Structure 1
Amino acid sequence: MMMSRQTLIALGGAIVLGIVAVFIANSWLNRKQQQAYAGGTTRVAVAAAPLAFGTDITPDKVRFVDYPNTSIPPGAFTDPQQLIAAGKRRVALMPISLNEPILKDKISAQ
């Protein structure tokens, strides 16, 4: 089956435009990410595993990831000692998903 010349030109043009669109979108996203991190980052506690209601918050269930300073959620923990103090027990007051920031209003007080 032979494609007409017009069909081949249209197909080639669509491929070229698609490649250009991907390049532009990628450049734009990279610029946005650099702008977000330009203000610096802070390490924020997130769930290293899904935490069900009543689950003890222990060091093996928490990890810290870099967040842009402009995007830190209110009530986030930036200091491990604030979250997991020796001799203090904290539990999840609601389910917390994997990689979700652990916030003060989602866990019990010390």
Structure 2
Amino acid sequence: MTGPRRRVLELLLGAGEPVKAYDLIARFGTDGQAAKPPTVYRALEFLERQGMVHRIASISAYVACTGGGPAHAAAFLICDCCGATQEVHPARGDSFALAAEAAGYVIERTTIEGHGRCPACRVAA
């Protein structure tokens, strides 16, 4: 793995939460210097193709994968109140893949996003 790809993955693993690409660009340099945007975007694209990173489209952010390998269905619960995000492993992701297979498709990546309120925000409301 190249240095820039490794650095982007380290930043995402260290964050423990979804991070926007421009925040990664700002944090990229170990000497406080930002990276060039194409460097980070190319690294993110590669890491996503390898199943090491997921893009959460609804919040325009990236998160390190918590497991499952490149072909697993990634599902995220996103709190619209506090922004907490949690990856879950839905059993229904398998049925989606089976339905695609029956239609002649081969799915390479699936990302499901569910928005609502986390337990803490539900109690506070």
- What TM-score does the superposition give when structure 1 sets the normalisation length? 0.23
Flag the structure with higher strand content. 2
- What TM-score does the superposition give when structure 2 sets the normalisation length? 0.21
Query: Which has the larger Rg?
Result: 1
Instruction: Between the two structures, name the one with larger relative contact order (CA 8 Å, sep ≥ 6).
Output: 1
